[in-house]
Amino acid sequence: MRIGGLASGIDTESMIKDLMNAERIPLDKMHQDRTKLEWKRDAFRDVNKLLGNFDQNMILNMKLSDTFNTKIISSTQEDAVRATGNAGANSGTYRINVEQLASSAINVGAKEVQFDTEKTLSEQGITGSITFKTYGKDSSYGDNGVKEHKYEIRGGDKLSDVVKRINDDVDSPVRMTYDENSNKVIIEATRTGVYNPNGKEIEFDDSEGSFFSQLGLSQDPVEVEDGVMRGGEQGAQNAIFTYNGAYEVETQDNHYQLNGVTFQFLNETDGEATLNVTNDIDHTVEKITEFVEAYNEIVDKITESQREQVFRDFPPLTDEQKSDMSEREIELWEEKAKSGMLRGESFLSSGLSSMRQSWYGTVKNDGAFTSLTEIGIETSADYMDGGKLVINEAELREALAADPESVQRLFSNNVEGEGRGLINRLEDSVENTIGQINQRAGKATSVSLDGYALGKRMEEINSRIENFERRLENVESRYWRQFSEMERAISMMNQQSDMLMSNFAPGLAQ
């Protein structure tokens, strides 16, 4: 703790504070310079974020076949057969006659069984293991196409535990249900179709005393009363349909794919259902419009950054200056201080010029269109727009209706040379600009300052600030020493004056 002015009566602390404020002026300037660099870095990164999102989303979407070849499929019997088409689906008319739907095998217990669901199976006389077989064609079924499913009945297992174990088995196309309302057990396939043409889809031991017989299940119907047969497996069958009046197909599922079109069978048709497959032009126009709007936003952002006015009389505020201002005053000041932060950055204007140039070239390919203007898209005639794209929707729709594949090839023909698509050329320009900004301002994830140009300048200023702050500490200490010496000298003079006055006082009194 320092106390000054005891001898002189001077407010030493205030004087030193004022002197140090003058000394700190260069330091404030360095802090302002660093703040400007931080603002410039952040402004660059805002542009890069916009470019990055554009590259990863909009440009990517424009390279996908689904953008240009999404299909609309209508059906004259929507309740019986519907369809979806991938990008490679052939447009045209398809006739489908569904004669039979695929169904799942199901086995319902022929008789009621009395189970106490709160007791374990062993308490009710059921122990050992549960085994049944299913059939299939994939590798998990082996060469003979049969798979055995086995579940041990553990001590403490209730019926619900065993049912859950069977139902949770991803390798088993079977589920089991115990209906407490009717006291019946159901076992059924979770897939449609016939996999074992020579017998049952779910084979199990139904001999007397077996697990399944105790559940009331049997492989074949059994007589439960005079002449009444119940139980046994039933229901498994394949779907059967005729395609375009000539091609008869039998399939295990209620869907089938032909020519990139997936037909979904919901019911048997009343004669033939007619399905029309056409390109979804509305979808493509919407995607292209979204892309153009995103591109124009980038043009706006970069063009505005080069036209913003620079207010040199509005440097970044110091902490002391901010303490004397309201939040709104600070906001308005910094709005002007940040204006024109990227003005004059030549690689931004050259990057925008390169992006604009991507649209002007001719794309030499086998398609019907070689330039953007041929499909109703051109750059704005107003030079103040900075090269924004303008869409003539009627011409674009006409081109898409005539030859969507050629429109796609014009945009996204991923080859080198004169046949390179417009989107691919734009992508090259965007990624080049992103790379230059990364060199200048680093990535948002950059931790070290020495990895990019502005960071190195900030690091240099940080070093100068540290050195200057040490110098200020020394200057302040020197001021205190000087004032302390002055106080000591004044104190000595006061003492000498008091001594002289005391010596001459008697003579003065006579």
Q: Average pLDDT, whole number, for the chain?
A: 88
pLDDT tens-digit readout, 299-336: 999 999 999 999 999 999 988 889 889 999 999 999 99
pLDDT above 70 for 504: no
Write out pLDDT tens, residues 140-150. Answer: 888 889 999 99
pLDDT given at position 155:
86
Q: Give the strand order in the sheet containing 203-204.
A: 146-152, 129-135, 203-204
**What does the pLDDT read at residue 36?**
92
Q: Given a cut of 70, is residue 9 above it in pLDDT?
A: no
Q: Please write the tens of the pLDDT for every residue from 55-96.
A: 999 999 999 888 998 889 999 999 999 999 887 788 889 999
Q: pLDDT band at residue 265, thresholds of 50, 70 and 90?
A: very high
Helical (H) or strand (E) element with 276: strand 273-279
Report d(CA 76, CA 95) in Å as an integer.
10
pLDDT at 28: 85
Buried b (16+ CB within 10 A) or exposed e, 396-414: bbebbeeebebbbbbbbbe
* Environment class of 20 (CB within 10 Å of its CB; exposed 0-12, middle 13-18, buried 19+): middle
Of all residues in the chain, the percent with pLDDT exceeding 90 is 53
Q: Taking the complete model, does pTM exceed 0.85, yes or no?
A: no
Helix (H), strand (E) at residue 330: helix 327-338
Top pLDDT among 3 and 362 is at 362
The tokens for 206 are 């139904």
Quick one: average pLDDT of 103-123?
89
Please determine, for residue 361, whether its predicted confidence score (pLDDT) is greater than 90.
Answer: no
Share above pLDDT 70 across residues of the chain, in percent, rounded to a whole number: 96
Give whichever of 139-143, 262-266, 447-451 has the largest mean pLDDT. Answer: 262-266
Write the pLDDT tens digit of every residue in 423-432.
Answer: 999 999 999 9
Up-side HSE of residue 47: CA atoms within 13 Å toward CB? 32
